[in-house]
Amino acid sequence: MNLKIEEYASLKTMNTMGLESVARYFGRVESLAALQEALVFAKERHLPVIPLGEGSNVVLGESLDALVLLIRLKGREIQESHNGSVLLKVGAGEHWHSLVCWSLEQKFYGLENLALIPGCVGAAPVQNIGAYGVEIKDRFVSLEAVDRQTGESTTLSAEECAFGYRDSVFKNGLMDRVIITSVTLRLSTTLMPELDYGALKEKAEGFAGEGERPTGMDICRAVCAIRREKLPDPQVIGNAGSFFKNPVVSEEHKVALKDKFSDIPAYKVSEGWKLAAGWLIEHCGFKGCLKKDGAGVYDKQALVLVNHGNACGKDVLLLAEEIRVAVKERFSVTLEIEPRIY
């Protein structure tokens, strides 16, 4: 056996919200063979399979009648390096921020704006993670995944992944059908800084020093500093990062909102106008709120729901629904929850 199976395992320390959750079966996957064994185990028992990386984008129920797999497939392999670019294959269980820092140490550029995003590499394409003007799809080449039913490996291109705003085929047509085992990215050996987002340019120049151009590491440090100012550390306050997607509305809807709320932030995107979900939530009075069960909204960023210690998944979702109803009533905007709910 390449896999050890535990029964009735607590997942409280395996999700960044710190929600108490018990898995009927649990296993740690460190090889392709172990993953394939796990899928056979689950199939024989007619169990759903729940893969976890860092547990940073999930809301777990109190009891999961499933096989929960902690994906720890490691490895960083330079597959190709020429003409100023590098093809880098990374195991799905590698820690994302550690990969960003390592790539910069190797003088491979392109991930610096995505620093400090919590989670593992395998989760990045599912969410099409993005920050400060960059998304993983901008660096993505392909990925390898295992079919949950057959155990066979397959390779998917960027086109096949159907990336969108915090979206991909893994949230749609391939949802719960495959488990990602590795991701291949194309990075550059020349820094081409993306500094158009808000205060990032000023912050990065501050790290670089007077008269100096920011290095990739300066940009990474600037991104980390900005994120730490806005987002709570899961080691201190349980959270899953941004809990809602920033909604996109039509031109007509944006104009109507601007007539009523002149200071509402709105940014032009290809699909229409993107609104700041955190602003909507804050202006419904939820910023800093705390429920008796421990669920609450972070006092520095209303987009982040938090667990002050005793909340369960149901408590968090009840608060999320209260927020969604209030935003819908006041702004006629429907907020979409970003984390996966189990």
Beta-bridge partner residues of 178:
147
Residue 212 among the catalytic residues: no
Residue of 28, 160, 338, 340 with catalytic role: 338
Where helices occur in 88-157 by DSSP H, the ranges are 96-105, 123-127
In the 8-state DSSP scheme, what is residue 245? P
Q: In terms of Cα–Cα distance, which of 12, 19, 25, 23 is closest to 59?
A: 19
Residue of 56, 142, 182, 242 with catalytic role: 242
Residue 166 among the catalytic residues: yes
| Cβ-based burial of 87 (10 A; exposed 0-12, middle 13-18, buried ≥19) | middle
The 3-state DSSP class for residue 163 equals coil
Cβ atoms of 40 and 332 closer than 8 Å: no
Measured CA to CA, the distance from residue 212 to residue 218 in angstroms comes to 11
Those residues whose C-beta lies under 8 Å from the C-beta of residue 138, and which sit 6 or more positions away, are 110
Residue 252 among the catalytic residues: no
Cβ atoms of 109 and 120 closer than 8 Å: no
In the 8-state DSSP scheme, what is residue 12? G
C-alpha torsion angle, residues 24, 3, 97, 198 (rounded to 10): -40
Q: How many CB atoms lie within 10 A of CB 220?
A: 24
Residue of 139, 166, 221, 324 with catalytic role: 166
Work out the end-to-end distance of the chain between its first and last CA atoms, rounded to an integer number of angstroms.
28
The 3-state DSSP class for residue 24 equals strand
**φ, ψ (nearest 5 deg) of residue 305:** -90, 145
Measured CA to CA, the distance from residue 281 to residue 240 in angstroms comes to 17
* Tokens encoding 39: 């899928």
Active-site annotation, residues: 166, 242, 338
